[in-house]
Amino acid sequence: MTSKQAMSSNKQERLLCYNGQVLVFQLSKGNFADKEPTKTPILHVRRMVFDRGTKVFVQKSTGFFTIKEENSHLKIMCCNCVSDFRTGINLPYIVIQNNKQNNVFEYFLLILHSTNKFEMRLSFKLGYEMKDGLRVLNGPLILWKHVKTFFFISSQTGKVASVSGNFSSIQWAGEIENLGMVLLGLKECCLSEEECTQEPSKSDYAVWNTKFCVYSLESQEVLSDTYIIPPAYSSVVTCVHICATEIINNQLRISLIALTRRNQLISFQNGTPKSVCQLPFGDPCAVQLMDSGGGTLFFVVSFMSNNACAVWKENFQVAAKWEKLSLVLIDDFIGSGTEQVLLLFKDSLNSDCLTSFKITDLGKINYSSEPSDCNEDDLFEDKQENRYLVVPPLETGLKVCFSSIRELRQHLFLKEKIISKSYKALINLVQGKDDNTSSAEEKECLVPLCGEEENSVHISDEKLSDNFQDSEQLVEKIWYRVMDDNLVVGVKTTSSLKLSLNDVTLSLLMDQAHDSRFRLLKCQNRMIKLSTNPFPAPYLKPCEIGLEAKRVKLTPDSKKEESFVCEHPSKKECVQIITAVTSLSPLLAFSKFCCTVLLHIMERESGNCPKDRYVVCGRVFLSLEDLSTEKYLLTFPKKKPIEHMEDLFALLAAFHKSCFQITSPGYVLNSMKVWLLEHMKCEIIKEFPEVYFCERPGSFYGTLFTWKQRTPFEGILIIYSRNQTVMFQCLHDLIRILPINCFLKNLKSGSENFLIDNMAFTLEKELVTLSSLSSAIAKHESNFMQRCEVSKGKSSVVVAALSDRRENIHPYRKELQREKKKMLQTNLKVSGTLYREITLKVAEVQLKSDLAAQKLSNL
């Protein structure tokens, strides 16, 4: 809570609110209990807090500070709360003036700490008395006006300096984010020669000769003189409160509220008046913002006539007004988490407590020591009554939501516990250790992993051990690198292992030294397949047309058609890498850690359920000492290309991947390689010719490209960039050299080929399922063919015996045809159960193929 300054009627006594407390400063020449004053001045402070039980302010603690100035005239100038540049913490302060002889004035700035100890942060002397425009800002920094010049002194420098800007008055001073300490006030402007030729009136001169400016104390220059307050308001604005600031196109835009001499509260947004409220009293002097919670905000305006009022920020209507006040403070006095306004009426302060006051948030919080004259609008009373009806149901709903959140946390905690114990049992089984989860409670926590059915509670050890395989059979190499804030772990599999990203998962299990459990780290997997042989464009080298799914034949005696268009390509050597990327910062809290790398492979077999295989690839050890010595640390190579291919794989895994389809209907895309090699200064990786490494200086350096030209007019460009900003820079540079009417389409799924392969796979399964529909008839057909062969055998014997009697063959042939027709009418039928089972399988497969076709059509 930011504290607000207030002043009582006694000039040697000041009140201030700080963190819900009321601080009472009193300057005297002795203790409160002493009747005879001493010669040594003493500054006393009392901390008073509000007791909700007794509904009164009680004294919490006291403190004092002895000022070693005898026979001097001391006066309290002001008090408030500012932040100390040494700690950044808001602390109460008080400024005291000492009037010495020979018109020498000495000023002290004291800071009050939480232990009620005063610290003198600043002291200086002037040859005149500060009277006008005294302000204390963060630092602390004191700002004042003498004659027509503004001066300031900071606790950091301890020297008095003048404000170079020719300000006639300052309406607001404070700190703005990214701009530092700034001043907002009226600055005199020099009229041009043409304007000076005409004799302006006094009112015109007052309006057009001054304008509002924002001035920086650090750079000592004007930041902005537009979009603040129109010049027509320069002569009537007396006080300003800045609500919000932002910089748009290097131009400062400000939203503020202002008090005017016409008793108005006006809201300005970027120099344009938005709302106006006519205030109920005259001579407004200060405005404060109060947040009563629930998004309800009020502007509390104080007047020179010891009156105050509250204005709704939402509709700029007067919500309440009070009279005969001594001061107004805003803070959280009752500890509810929202702000309230403390109204102290005249003669409310005595030696012990505050006697006449009222605390309210203009809602349901109302504490009063005695009935006060408060005239509140009927509109506010109606809203207050409606609030009583709305708030209780909202509180009940919040309690229900909190209860649901607690239950959800308990459920997530139990889920995490089950997963942790299950992985512990899994790793112990892989490493051949004894399972420590022997108790019945821990055995209940074990659940089937990776899609196994939950029909049986006990899992056979022999079956699980068959699924785990030696890493030497499938994994060639394991490596890991550190890049920025990421840990990249890679596994190189054998070329015989054909996988896709949907069939494989690389997990990292963290071994916790202080606990026997394993922690599963959140990872992002990526599969990298790179060809080691240079491959020509598809339109330059012939290849076999069509996918394997298109060559499925339903008849057993059909011959496999061969493509007459092109020949089979030579077998390419391909490197297959599976990577896992995880955040490194949480792991460095352990100083050194160890992770087990587990590879889960799900093999898809036709007609059977997927089979799971698990491979423990190895362990990863990393410590802060390794990072200090730059071991495993991957940085961008400056003067030499990538030496280790693991560095290339780490870049491909950690970088942001973007895939684009480039189509040029009217021109050949020969300019792509020119752009990669000449414009982007790319170097082809010798081991993997399809990868281009960008060596162009600046933000482009280190970007990776792959370009696959499918036809002379179409190709796929994949960009691996450090961030999306670099990717957009590359596209901006690419558009300049592309032919006219060229189209770029972002492939959100990563590659169009992946969806094509998926479509072909689903169509193949659909064809196989449809072919099984005739398998039920195949048995009856085979029996029919056998009987036909027997009949043909019998008929052939008769024909051999009676070769000279051809007229006897015709009756046998008719009998054979009648029997075949009878067999087709009676035996070619299937049961209803088998038919329903087949149609259900066909429907499921067709649904998957339809979904794949929809994704492919949306590209």
Number of domains in the chain: 4
Check whether the bond before 140 is cis (ω within 30° of 0). yes
Q: What are phi and psi of 480, to 5 degrees?
A: -150, 150
Range among 266-270, 419-423, 444-448 rated most confident? 266-270
- Domain assignment present for 346: no
Least confident residue range of 86-95, 151-160, 459-468? 459-468
Buried b (16+ CB within 10 A) or exposed e, 130-153: beebebbbbbbbbbbbbeeebbbb
Least confident residue range of 2-11, 210-219, 509-518, 813-822? 2-11
Domain check: are 627 and 722 in the same one? no
Max Cα separation, the chain?
161
pLDDT for res 698? 86
pLDDT for res 2? 41
**Beta strands 21-28 and 264-269: pairing type?**
unpaired
pLDDT for res 544? 37
Domain check: are 507 and 619 in the same one? yes
Domain check: are 756 and 711 in the same one? no
pLDDT for res 718? 93
Q: Is the pLDDT of residue 464 over 50?
A: no
The DSSP bridge partners found for residue 135 are 143
Quote the CA–CA distance of 299 and 554 in Å, as a whole number. 83
- Structure token digits, residue 763: 């169509």
Q: Is residue 591 within 8 Å of 624, Cβ to Cβ?
A: yes
The DSSP bridge partners found for residue 613 are 601
Q: What is the pLDDT of residues 297-339, one digit of tens each?
A: 999 999 999 999 999 998 899 999 998 888 899 999 988 888 9
Supply the DSSP string of 8-64, one letter for each residue.
Answer: -SSTTEEEEEETTEEEEEEEESS-SS-SS--SS-EEEEEEEEEETTTTEEEEEEEEE
Three-class secondary structure of residue 175 per DSSP? strand
For tokens 């919000």, the residue is: 244
Quote the CA–CA distance of 44 and 27 in Å, as a whole number. 6
Domain check: are 665 and 743 in the same one? yes
Q: What is the mean pLDDT of residues 520-548?
A: 63
Q: Is residue 720 within 8 Å of 655, Cβ to Cβ?
A: yes
The tally of CA atoms less than 13 A away on the side-chain side of residue 794 is 9
Domain check: are 738 and 681 in the same one? yes
Q: Is the pLDDT of residue 401 over 90?
A: no
CA proximity to 713, closest of 776, 670, 655, 777: 670
Quote the CA–CA distance of 490 and 224 in Å, as a whole number. 54
Quote the CA–CA distance of 7 and 477 in Å, as a whole number. 77
Non-local (6+) Cβ contacts of 162 within 8 A are 149, 150, 151, 152
Long-range contacts of 204-208 (CB under 8 A, 24+ apart): 206/234, 206/235, 207/231, 207/232, 207/234, 207/235
pLDDT band at 256 (very low <50, low <70, confident <90, very high): very high
Q: What is the pLDDT of residues 803-821, one digit of tens each?
A: 444 455 556 556 656 765 6
pLDDT for res 570? 44
Quote the CA–CA distance of 223 and 243 in Å, as a whole number. 18
pLDDT for res 102? 79
Q: Is the pLDDT of residue 758 over 50?
A: yes
The DSSP bridge partners found for residue 644 are none
Q: What is the mean pLDDT of residues 497-520?
A: 72
Mean pLDDT of the chain: 75
- Which stretches of 300-446 are DSSP H helices? 378-431, 440-445
- Domain assignment present for 27: yes
Q: What is the pLDDT of residues 176-215, one digit of tens each?
A: 888 888 999 888 765 544 444 455 454 444 455 678 899 8
User: Domain holding 101: CATH number?
Assistant: 2.40.128
Q: Is residue 47 within 8 Å of 20, Cβ to Cβ?
A: no
CA proximity to 64, closest of 84, 41, 88: 41
Virtual CA dihedral for 692, 697, 703, 707, nearest 10 degrees? -40
Q: What is the pLDDT of residues 56-84, one digit of tens each?
A: 888 899 998 888 776 568 888 999 999 88
Q: Is residue 584 within 8 Å of 508, Cβ to Cβ?
A: no
pLDDT band at 167 (very low <50, low <70, confident <90, very high): confident
Q: What angle do CA 489, 493, 497 make, to 5 degrees?
A: 140
Domain termination residue (choose one: 718, 749, 780): 749
pLDDT for res 447? 40
Quote the CA–CA distance of 476 and 471 in Å, as a whole number. 8
CA proximity to 669, closest of 618, 712, 616: 712
For tokens 């007019």, the residue is: 713
Q: Is residue 423 within 8 Å of 429, Cβ to Cβ?
A: no
Domain check: are 724 and 764 in the same one? no
First to last CA, the chain: 54
Domain termination residue (choose one: 689, 716, 749): 749
Non-local (6+) Cβ contacts of 780 within 8 A are 827, 828, 829
- Overall residue count recorded for the chain in this entry: 859
pLDDT for res 432? 62
Question: What does the DSSP 8-state code read for residue 548?
Answer: G
Q: What are phi and psi of 541, to 5 degrees?
A: -125, 130
Q: What is the pLDDT of residues 634-683, one digit of tens each?
A: 776 555 567 778 888 899 998 999 999 899 888 888 888 889 999 999 99
- Structure token digits, residue 642: 């990538």
Indicate the angle between helix axes 752-773 and 832-857, nearest 10 degrees: 160
Domain that holds residue 675: 655-749
Non-local (6+) Cβ contacts of 287 within 8 A are 239, 241, 257, 259, 265, 299, 300, 301, 302
Quote the CA–CA distance of 68 and 512 in Å, as a whole number. 62
Q: What is the mean pLDDT of residues 248-263?
A: 89
Q: Is the pLDDT of residue 387 over 80?
A: no
pLDDT for res 826? 53
User: Domain holding 599: CATH number?
Assistant: 2.60.40
More confident residue, 776 or 822: 822
Domain check: are 625 and 661 in the same one? no
Range among 198-212, 224-238, 568-582, 601-615 rated most confident? 224-238
pLDDT for res 380? 55
For tokens 């057993």, the residue is: 556
pLDDT for res 548? 38
From its phi and psi, is residue 665 left (phi > 0), alpha (psi between -120 and 50) or beta? alpha
- Domain assignment present for 717: yes
pLDDT band at 569 (very low <50, low <70, confident <90, very high): very low
More confident residue, 470 or 506: 506
The DSSP bridge partners found for residue 248 are 251
pLDDT band at 451 (very low <50, low <70, confident <90, very high): very low
Question: What does the DSSP 8-state code read for residue 139?
Answer: B
Domain check: are 679 and 621 in the same one? no
Helix, strand, coil abundance in the chain, percent, nearest 5 = 25, 35, 35
Q: Is the pLDDT of residue 157 over 80?
A: yes
Please tell me the pTM assigned to this model: 0.45
CA proximity to 324, closest of 259, 370, 273, 260: 370
Q: What are phi and psi of 288, to 5 degrees?
A: -130, 155
Quote the CA–CA distance of 354 and 346 in Å, as a whole number. 11
Q: Is residue 143 within 8 Å of 165, Cβ to Cβ?
A: no
pLDDT for res 566? 37
Domain check: are 608 and 696 in the same one? no
- Domain assignment present for 172: no
- Domain assignment present for 130: yes
pLDDT for res 483? 86
User: Domain holding 718: CATH number?
Assistant: 3.30.70
Non-local (6+) Cβ contacts of 71 within 8 A are 39
The DSSP bridge partners found for residue 260 are 237
Three-class secondary structure of residue 576 per DSSP? strand
Give the other-Cβ count within 10 Å of 443's Cβ. Answer: 14
pLDDT for res 66? 87
pLDDT for res 111? 93
pLDDT for res 372? 45
Least confident residue range of 560-564, 566-570, 648-652, 761-765? 560-564
pLDDT for res 452? 38
Q: What is the mean pLDDT of residues 160-176?
A: 87
Quote the CA–CA distance of 167 and 187 in Å, as a whole number. 4
Domain check: are 52 and 67 in the same one? yes
More confident residue, 397 or 273: 273
CA proximity to 106, closest of 74, 83, 132, 79: 74
Domain check: are 756 and 679 in the same one? no
Quote the CA–CA distance of 245 and 140 in Å, as a whole number. 23
pLDDT for res 307? 92
Non-local (6+) Cβ contacts of 423 within 8 A are 509, 518, 520
- Domain assignment present for 760: yes
Domain termination residue (choose one: 159, 188, 221): 159
Q: What is the mean pLDDT of residues 478-497?
A: 85
Dihedral angle sign, alpha carbons of residues 673, 677, 681, 684: positive
pLDDT for res 463? 39
Domain check: are 502 and 629 in the same one? yes
% residues pLDDT > 70 (the chain): 68
- Domain assignment present for 644: no
- Structure token digits, residue 844: 């499921």
Q: Is residue 257 within 8 Å of 266, Cβ to Cβ?
A: yes
- Domain assignment present for 559: no
Q: What is the mean pLDDT of residues 120-141?
A: 88
